Amino acid sequence: MLEFVVALVAAVGVLLAATVGFVFRGLTAFPSGDLVFYLTIFIGLIQALFLVWQHFKSDWEIGLPLAAIFVAWVAVNVISNDLSRHQTQVSPPIQQQPSPEIYDHERLIAKELFDKYVQSTPDLKKFPWPPPKPSAMQPLPRGPELEYRLQTLWDVSQFILMALRRGKYFEHAFYYVPYGFALVTRLEQISADGTPLDEHVRWQAAATAGMHAFTLAEYIKALFLAPAGRYRTIVFVVTSENFAPSSSLLTRKEAAEWFQTGHVTLDGLYRVIRFDRSYTFTALIYEFFGRGQEKEANLEDPSNISGIQHLTKAGLWSSLRCEDSRCNTL
């Protein structure tokens, strides 16, 4: 009888310890919580099954059901705990939209701040406005996930930079546009389908004589064909102003100078301007093509592929749409 009481008390202690593990894991967002949880469950399960076997080893009709009940209890708690945590992580809180009066007041304050900023910054680099005619143009989506995560214009700039780093774009320049900003990527060489060339030629300013890769076919092309160059720069425009591109055509030289003369980062003002529903988020793609005998690569007007295809081949579209789990790192 004493052995039975000891086994019963030990089993209750194990159940309490397992319950503490569940609670600790549910309240902890770090991997250490998961480690404590699983260790508690593993140790508790082994101890409980051992105690059940010790007491009921001569009577399996009682021992087996008790062991099965305990295992089922553990499984149900693990599954329910995982489901609840998963739902908490992927469901951003619902944000209330400001009233029209508050919204209009905030927009007025933001415009006043920008006007003072422009007046007090004589060396401010301004992007041509309206922008020159692009080869392709793609508005970027603003789903609930981005609406929740991108609160200010600074947040938007960091989101774009994160997507660019994933696409191996590590150089950029910022410009001021009316009540927003433009982010310009460095001019790169691409293939006809929009895929960047190999890294050893991607950022070269001169045409690569057809040697897009070190293969026999590319070598023969380089011997008998004039070198062709296809270039691209991407401009991300974030503004609350409605705009349409101008009819002026950009040159490749001008596009290269954009990258060289812009700001490295945004000023602190962008940390306090809200990314509200008045702002649009647009990618302008400028593509140029020319052969070796031509003095200058000319703007493709329009491009043979769409804006989405350009962004996809550049390795940016998935990140800009916040489609993968890495979006949670914002």
User: Coil, strand, or helix at residue 16?
Assistant: helix
| Same domain assignment for residues 50 and 83 | yes
Of 90, 117, 134, the position where a domain reaches its end is 90
User: Coil, strand, or helix at residue 100?
Assistant: helix
| Same domain assignment for residues 319 and 179 | yes
pLDDT tens column, 120-153: 999 999 999 999 999 999 999 887 777 778 999 9
The total number of structural domains that make up the chain: 2
Of 59, 90, 121, the position where a domain reaches its end is 90
| Same domain assignment for residues 34 and 77 | yes
Indicate whether 184 belongs to any domain: yes
| Same domain assignment for residues 109 and 83 | no
- Reported as a pLDDT band with limits 50, 70 and 90, residue 29 is very low
Q: How far apart are CA 228 and CA 209, in angstroms?
A: 6
pLDDT tens column, 76-98: 665 655 555 444 444 455 555 55
Contact 248, 299 (CB under 8 A): no
DSSP state of 46: H
Three-class HEC string of 200-237: HHHCCCCCCCCCCCCCHHHHHHHHHCCCEEEEEEEEEE
User: Coil, strand, or helix at residue 45?
Assistant: helix
pTM, two decimal places: 0.66
Indicate whether 117 belongs to any domain: yes
Quick one: pLDDT at residue 7? 57
- Reported as a pLDDT band with limits 50, 70 and 90, residue 161 is very high
Q: Helix %, strand %, coil % for the chain, to 5?
A: 50, 15, 35
| Same domain assignment for residues 80 and 139 | no
Place of tokens 């950029």: 172
Q: How far apart are CA 190 and CA 305, in angstroms?
A: 12
- Reported as a pLDDT band with limits 50, 70 and 90, residue 112 is very high
Indicate whether 95 belongs to any domain: no
